[in-house]
Structure 1
Amino acid sequence: MTIATLEGPQCPTPPTLAIVIVNFNSWPDCERLVEAMASSLERIDGRCELILVDNASETPPPSHFENRSGIQIILCPDNAGFAAGVNTAWRRTTARWLLLLNPDTFADADFPEKILHRIAFYEARTEGPPGLVGFALSNEDGTRQHSVGSFPTLAGCLREVWTPRSRRKYWSLGRTRPGPVPWVTGACLLVQASVMEQIGGMDEDFFLYHEEVALCRLARDRGWTVEFDDSITLGHLRPLQSRRVNPVLRVVTRHSKLLYFLKFRPRWEARILAWVITFEAHVRHAWCRWIGQTEDANAWRAVGSIARTLGSDRGLRGIEVRRFAEQSVRDTAPGCRMGSRRRLKGSRGDRPIRLDARKRSR
């Protein structure tokens, strides 16, 4: 992969913290976030760097980013997903800690300094620092936002049918307390570089969503702790659970959920979930066709195809999923039926998914 890098003046000593922002067509959000932290980054120059990975946005980065001290901009030639973007930044830094931030978060001017103070606190603990830390999130109006959850199970997925969308993946706010937790959202996630090295980075089979759940699961399986820390709060403008899911994203999110089950849950749970999603896709595809929502109907047809394929431990992964979803949604061929075995041209969807028996629950 060819990667172009725009670098401002860099400090020769390894930083303690690398703030990683993965962007796709969100330059205004990135510019707002970077400008908010700019003065703090200058004050702590050398201890913190900012790496902004752009996954082939349609427009170039703001020109004034090039002259910012401690900022690297990595321009990737294609959008290979969030995990791939994070891994690109991780491989380019020597920092001991990485802080993953969504572009649509909003921070105080001293936010990087607060994170460095928390890192110093973690590293001074007698029990040692946690492997991953999720900080508190708030909505634009200041109310708390859900950010901690239990690992997915089949029973939990079935209960989601009767759970408000805003809380399907997450613990209730009343249940969320500082300390060890199963997993935390990737919108604001602090992770030790040692964890990334031991695990091999984020799993790029996930194009978008559930990759942070998988990361936390793998870290815990290897003895690292995952913690929630509410001593710092970061605003988050557009969490998935509070916005409309477009047809392409619907395909991607269903793929990610199925892929997680295939990698980490018992085989029988993955097979049952694949059957349930296939049935859901049939029903929703028929309804969308009936009411004339062509793109949604195409998306559900693609979801059904993915569920049938992943149910046999094979299928698309990473960037292939995004390409398949985009092509499927814009497919306007008349008479396309749910049962058609349409495949993305040039895809390798018949490849087996990489599975590690040690990662699967028994």
Structure 2
Amino acid sequence: MDASPREPQTRPDARLTVVVVNYDGWPDVLGLVDRLGHEPEFLSGACRIAVVDNASPSPAPDALRRPGLRLVLRPDNGGFAAGVNAGWRGSRSPWLLLLNPDVAVEPGTIGRIFDRIAALEARPEGPPGVVGFGLSNADGSPQGSVGVFPSLARSFREQLSPRSRRKYVPRRRLRPGPVDWTTGACMLVNARMMAELGGMDEDFFLYHEEVAFCRVASDRGWGVEYDPTVSVVHRAPLQDRPISPKMRVVIRHSKLLYFRKHAPRRQFLALTGIVELEAAARGTWAALRKAAAERRAWETIGAIARGLRRGRGPLGREVLELAERAERGDDPDDGPRRLGDGPSRPRPRRSPRGSRSPGG
């Protein structure tokens, strides 16, 4: 549902649409929109904003109903990829800028991005498909934003690093130019590539969708780059927050799904076996500590691994529903046990421009 007021037909198409995906973070959204709304590019109509809400429990503030801003109210929370796709489908801009609501944008940032777009479009070989910009923490320290495509060996090595650095290339080794993947917290996307790919993969609910997106883009011959000349502050990255049992289910699922879709099958099968063993051991430890929600989460993770290995398993919003069911302690006959044994609901094949709606 697009809740924006109708704009005059004479208004020219914008060069850039900023897509902000929200789930019950309205104060952050209002702050970000207010800062973007003072940028000259927004005031001139060269830049517009699409705020996509993934069925937040609280209503959208009236302050978001303003010219130049399109408010998309989704009927459910389908994850970040689903939200990005909803913002893209209503845009006619040649470029999209994905921004998390908890990003702080300094004055002049959009102007610098327009300068980068002009330089990219002037390249003889044409512009890349994805450009990731620099991220920093609220205290000014650098924040990870670029990574290497996952592999089984790399996954083992990452366990020896703090979670805040686990997915990312260390700053000392990071250079501007081609990279494997970049985070979706501040990502510039070529809309022509987006159309070719049919949008982001909505089978991911959260946390590996941008990795899969950059992998598919690279496989299709599109460049993925890192450009630190533009930087924003990302106040609350997921890797710095405590992991709840519900979020642990979502994160484990996203990694398993990435390996099923984009890694050699032997690596995927090995990973499912490792995750099953991990789930059994950590679930037993949680039971001994009488941590019921944690035990149920690990039972769910083990069932997800079995289901994905058998070509079944949850996709998209189904993952959130399973995680919430485990958190509440619902009847296991409606959850993990059936997940590994029965077929999952078939997913419709996405058309080149995508016919299904997104979330986050």
TM-score (norm 1): 0.91
Distance 1:198 1:284 in 2: 42
Bigger mean CA offset, 106-115 vs 180-189:
106-115
Q: Which whole-Å CA distance do the structure 1 matches of 2:310 and 2:42 have between them?
A: 54
**Match for 1:341 among 314, 323, 337?**
337
Does the Cα contact within 8 Å between 1:19 and 1:98 map onto a contact in 2? Answer: yes
Q: Which amino acid aligns with 1:123?
A: E
The 3-state SS of whatever aligns with 2:159 is helix
User: Paired residue for 1:33?
Assistant: 32
- The alignment partner of 2:65 has SS state of helix
Is 1:191 the counterpart of 2:189 in the alignment?
Answer: yes
In the alignment, residue 185 of structure 1 is paired with which amino acid?
T
Whether the 8 Å contact between 1:134 and 1:188 is mirrored in structure 2 is yes
The alignment covers a number of residue pairs equal to 347
Residue 153 (structure 2) pairs with residue 158 (structure 1): no
Residue pair 2:19, 2:52 contacting (<8 A) in 1 also: yes
1:109 deviates by 2.5
Per the alignment, do residues 20 and 201 of structure 1 end up closer, same or farther by CA in structure 2, a change over 3 Å counting? same
Deviations 1:23-64 (A, max 9, x none): 001001111111111111565422111000000001112212
Q: Which residue of 194, 197, 214 corresponds with 1:216?
A: 214
Name the structure 2 match of 1:227.
225
Tell me whether 1:116 sits opposite 2:114 in the alignment.
Answer: yes
2:357 aligned partner: none
Give the letter aligned to residue 95 of structure 1: S
1:63 aligns with 2:69: no
Whole-Å Cα distance in 1 between the matches of residues 187 and 92 of structure 2? 18
1:96 lines up with 2:91 in the alignment? no
Q: Is the 8 A contact 1:186 1:212 kept in 2?
A: yes
Corresponding letter in the other structure for 2:344: G
Question: Which residue of the partner structure matches residue 279 of structure 1?
Answer: 277
On the 8 A contact 1:19/1:49 being kept in 2, the answer is yes
Residue in 2 that maps onto 1:359: none
**1:54 to 1:248, Cα distance in 2 relative to 1, 3 A:** same
Indicate the residue corresponding to 1:133 in structure 2.
131
Q: Determine if contact 1:52/1:73 at 8 Å carries over to the other structure.
A: yes
Which ranges of structure 1 fall in alignment gaps of 5 or more residues?
Answer: 355-362
Note the C-alpha offset of 1:350: 6.5
Q: Aligned partners of 2:348 and 2:276: how far apart in 1?
A: 19
Instruction: Say if 1:151 and 1:183, in contact at 8 Å, map to a contact too.
Output: yes
Give the superposition deviation at 1:332: 5.6
| 1:122 to partner: Cα distance | 1.0
- Structure-1 residue corresponding to 2:47: 48
- 1:353 and 1:244, CA in 2 relative to 1: closer, same or farther beyond 3 A? farther
Greater CA drift, 295-304 or 124-133:
124-133
Deviation readout 1:160-214 (Å, 9 max, x if unpaired):
2212211111110111110000000010010100111111110000011111111
The answer to whether residue 231 in structure 2 is matched with residue 236 in structure 1 is: no
Who is 1:170 aligned against?
A: 168
- Offset of 1:8 from its aligned partner? 6.8
CA 1:85–1:240 in structure 2 vs 1: closer, same or farther (change >3 Å)?
same
Supply the distance in 2 between the matched residues of 1:13 and 1:284 (Cα, whole angstroms).
57
Q: In the aligned structure 2, how far is the partner of 1:96 from the partner of 1:340?
A: 43
The TM-score with structure 2 as length reference comes to 0.91
Structure 1 distance, partners of 2:117, 2:44, is 16
Contact 1:313–1:353 at 8 Å: present in 2 too?
A: no
Q: Distance in 2 between matches of 1:59 and 1:165?
A: 31
Partner of 2:287: 289
> Counterpart amino acid of 1:17?
L
Name the stretch that deviates more: 104-113 or 26-35.
104-113
1:207-242 deviation per Cα after TM superposition (whole angstroms, max 9, x unaligned):
111111111011111111100000011000111111
Structure 1 residues 81 and 41, CA gap change in structure 2 (3 angstroms) = farther
Residue aligning to 1:360: none
The root-mean-square deviation of aligned C-alpha atoms, in Å, is 2.2
CA distance in 1: counterparts of 2:202 and 2:114, whole angstroms: 28
What residue in structure 1 maps to residue 104 of structure 2?
106
Contact 1:314 1:352 in 2 (8 A): no
- Equivalent residue for 2:266? 268
CA contact (8 A) 1:8 1:71 kept: no
CA deviation map 1:281-334 (0-9, x unaligned): 11111111111221111111111110111112221100111111111221166x
Q: Is the 8 A contact 2:313 2:339 kept in 1?
A: no
Provide closer, same or farther for how the CA distance between residues 43 and 90 of structure 1 changes in structure 2, counting only shifts above 3 A. closer
Deviation at 1:248, TM superposition (A): 1.3
Cα distance change, pair 108–340 in 1 and its aligned pair in 2 (3 A): closer
Letter in 2 for 1:20: V
In 2, Cα distance between the equivalents of 1:167 and 1:298? Answer: 28
Where 1:136 maps in the other structure, the secondary structure is strand
Quote the sequence identity (%): 47
Candidates 80, 83, 86, aligned match of 1:85: 83
Q: Is the 8 A contact 1:44 1:113 kept in 2?
A: no
SS for the counterpart of 1:7 is: coil
Would you say the 8 A contact 2:2–2:70 is kept in 1? no
